[in-house]
A and B are shown apart, each in its own frame.
Chain A
Amino acid sequence: MLDPWVPRLYRVTSVIRELADTVSLELRSADGSLNSLEAGQFNMLYTFGVGEAAISVSGDPSQRDRVVHTVRAVGAVSRAITALQAGATLGVRGPFGRGWPVGFTQQHDLVIVAGGLGLAPLRPMIYRVLQRRDRYRRVVILIGMRNPEEILYRPEIERWRSRLDIELEVTVDRAEGVWRGHVGVVPALIPRLGLEPASTVAMVCGPEVMMRFAANALRDAGIPAERIFLSMERNMKCALGLCGHCQFGPAFVCKDGPVMPLSRIASLWQHREI
């Protein structure tokens, strides 16, 4: 068994420039081995000599011969990753962490709330739900983005929106020009959904402030904290639960998360700088 500190080699097979600073890379294992990953998990992506970054899986987990990661250039490592061309080699460690609760949600109403780049870790879950649409009851997807020009996965969102078996609303913080969707914040869309608390499961991902307020709105709508799931983020170095960096209260985000129920997080969120 390979040492979990050692990256496996993957090749970049395609690069999609999603936004000015955001790129999706499709990766295939250099030795042809298949993946076994779950929606909500992440990999540590390594660029030679620069370092590693924890990036959520953003593609379809049922396609086991490839893995897709959507990366935004914010630091040295992510900038190096977003500069990679097709054919480049990348190191991959993982998959790590607890993903979105798939089995739990069947026969429930599902509310998926994504903010900005938070849509990337949720996209694999959306794919899963759409592939097994009949196993869920009502499916609502709420997406918040900065403005109409910076909508991640826009063509795909438009395709989802045109489906007759899911509800999908997009809202932007501000808009100029041609925009027929909402202008406002994602939490504001929640009260109007008429959710049934007893049978609803919510999955939320985005900047932490957005998740806090979305979680608030979901709680106000009656959804219990045990059925609101969030994808947490903290500084990660090892992703193995050995370096201590990603601790959030007693939880290690790399192994107890990144997906965690609000019931586990709420008391920590009440305090600054925990």
Chain B
Amino acid sequence: MNGFDLGARLLMQADQLQPLIEDLAARGYRVLGPTVKEKAIVYDTIARVEDLPRGWTDRQDAGSYRIERRQDQAWFGYAVGPQSWKRFLHPPIERLWQMRRSDHSIMQPPPQEKFAFLGVRACELQAIAVQDKVFLEGPYRDRAYAQRREDCFIIAVNCGEAGGTCFCVSMQSGPCAKRGFDLALTELMRDRHEFLVEVGSEAGGELLQRITSRTAAAADIAAAEAVVARTAQSMGRTLETNGLKELLQAHPEHPRWDDVAQRCLTCANCTMVCPTCFCTTVTDHTDLSGDVAVRERSWDSCFTLDFSHLHGGSARSTARARYRQWITHKLASWIDQFGTSGCVGCGRCITWCPVGIDITVEAAAIRATAPERPSSAAAAAAAQSAAGEAHPGGDRGGA
């Protein structure tokens, strides 16, 4: 037995985080963590604890993001920034292969560096789990993603501060990290600056052996739980998920879609910042000589006209249709496709929408003004035809 047991909880002094980082770097990990850059807290390579956003927090609301100085010097006293870990596990641009014209030989990129993530929030762990379902559990496995996931070392951090647009409690994805991490830290600032550490894997337990810690006392555990409990009480938003899937799928003609279409710029910010959005496009091109063809995959968004291009036009040409697609996919169709909601309650789409469209507000508006929920699609069709809707090819219901 080389490390601490799964579930073991220990107390670590803040000064032990540096050796932790160095140990990972020495073993070939590219250590990524939060850092202040361009007036935001983003994830980038870090070498030292000084790189962390010590004493910084964020103020988020619909369409608004600012970082601010805290009263204390907490290292993880913020919620989430514009990016998520998706930019490393599912990179914005990825070369799939290149082919030589002369012999049609194919070369694929070699396996990349391995990552260590420091500061992964519970909602982000959930988002990673959601993307695992997409990329690892379908009829075709995404090999590159699988490689990056397997090699990835995750140090989670339990939130001490709820963001202004957070609603992880509603989505049951936080604020406490439950699974999917190697180590989980809770920052404690009592008399001393310390971290409660929970061991989530064998690799985590092993790493912990190489730094100084002691077994957590009951008081330490209680203090950590209190931090999480306080965060859970101060969520910025709520989303009622009960019956939400059925609600959205039953009301594709709800007038609210017209309302949001007036505001939505289809700028695709929400899909870029969302930690679970996974859509990509594929581009094929050659180099200048024409001798080498390259296939790349890059982030795409259902908000673009091109996304649903078909026979010279777009199957979803209106903003109304595209917003409806995004939110219905995220909160409803995702459940049909992957068994979970696509939303983890991180609030990024609310914060980073330039016009402040709020997914929780839109869902609530539909719920508040939806007609009595029909019990089946056929009944929905009947309701709609009574309201004068044309229905081509509609299912008449019954043989």
Q: Are A49 and B290 in contact, with the CB atoms below 8 A? A: yes
Q: Are A273 and B293 in contact, with the CB atoms below 8 A? A: no
Cα A50 to Cα B97 in complex, Å, equals 14
Q: Which residues of A contact B391 (CB under 8 A)?
A: 270
Q: Which residues of B contact A223 (CB under 8 A)?
A: 399
| A42 on the B face (CB < 8 A) | no
Stretch of A4-12, A61-69, A133-141, A168-176 contacting B (4+ beta carbons < 8 Å) = A4-12
Interchain CB contact (< 8 A) of B140 among A49, A197, A240, A270: A240
Q: Which residues of B contact A50 (CB under 8 A)?
A: 284
Q: Are B395 and A225 in contact, with the CB atoms below 8 A? A: yes
| A128 on the B face (CB < 8 A) | no
| B396 on the A face (CB < 8 A) | yes
Q: Are B99 and A274 in contact, with the CB atoms below 8 A? A: no
Q: Answer whether A235 and B310 are a contact pair too, CB < 8 Å, given A49-B286, A219-B395, A252-B337.
A: yes
Contact with A along B138-152 (1 / 0, CB 8 A): 111011000000000
Interchain CB contact (< 8 A) of B393 among A3, A213, A234, A247: A213
Q: Which residue of A lies closest to B90 (CB)?
A: A242
- The listed residue with most B CB atoms (<10 A of its CB), out of A51, A211, A265, is A51
Q: Are B392 and A49 in contact, with the CB atoms below 8 A? A: no
Q: Which residues of B contact A243 (CB under 8 A)?
A: 279-282, 297, 300
Interchain CB contact (< 8 A) of B389 among A234, A250, A270: A270
Cα A115 to Cα B99 in complex, Å, equals 38
Q: How large is the interface on A (under 10, 10 to 19, 20 to 34, 35 or more residues)?
A: 35 or more
Q: Are A219 and B396 in contact, with the CB atoms below 8 A? A: yes
Q: Which residues of B contact A242 (CB under 8 A)?
A: 134-135, 138, 140, 142, 278, 280
The binding surface of chain A is classed by DSSP as loop
| B367 on the A face (CB < 8 A) | no
Q: Which residues of B contact A234 (CB under 8 A)?
A: 308, 310, 315
Cα A246 to Cα B10 in complex, Å, equals 48
Interchain CB contact (< 8 A) of A5 among B104, B135, B278, B295: B295
Q: Are B393 and A216 in contact, with the CB atoms below 8 A? A: yes
Q: Answer whether A241 and B97 are a contact pair too, CB < 8 Å, given A215-B393, A249-B333.
A: no
Q: Are B293 and A49 in contact, with the CB atoms below 8 A? A: yes
Q: Are B284 and A241 in contact, with the CB atoms below 8 A? A: no
Cα A89 to Cα B131 in complex, Å, equals 36
Q: Answer whether A240 and B395 are a contact pair too, CB < 8 Å, given A49-B285, A235-B310, A245-B307.
A: no
| A116 on the B face (CB < 8 A) | no
| A108 on the B face (CB < 8 A) | no
Contacting A at CB under 8 A, from B263-310, are 278-286, 290, 293, 295, 297, 300, 302, 307-310
User: Shortest beta-carbon distance, B175 to chain A, in Å?
Assistant: 29
Q: Are B395 and A241 in contact, with the CB atoms below 8 A? A: no
| A255 on the B face (CB < 8 A) | yes
Q: Are A272 and B293 in contact, with the CB atoms below 8 A? A: no
A-B pairs, 8 with minimum CB distance = A266-B395, A244-B279, A212-B393, A273-B321, A267-B377, A250-B333, A49-B286, A250-B336
Residue numbers of A with Cβ under 8 A of B are: 3-6, 9, 46, 48-52, 74, 89, 91, 197, 211-213, 215-216, 219, 222-225, 233-235, 237-238, 240-245, 247, 249-250, 252, 255, 262-263, 265-267, 269-274
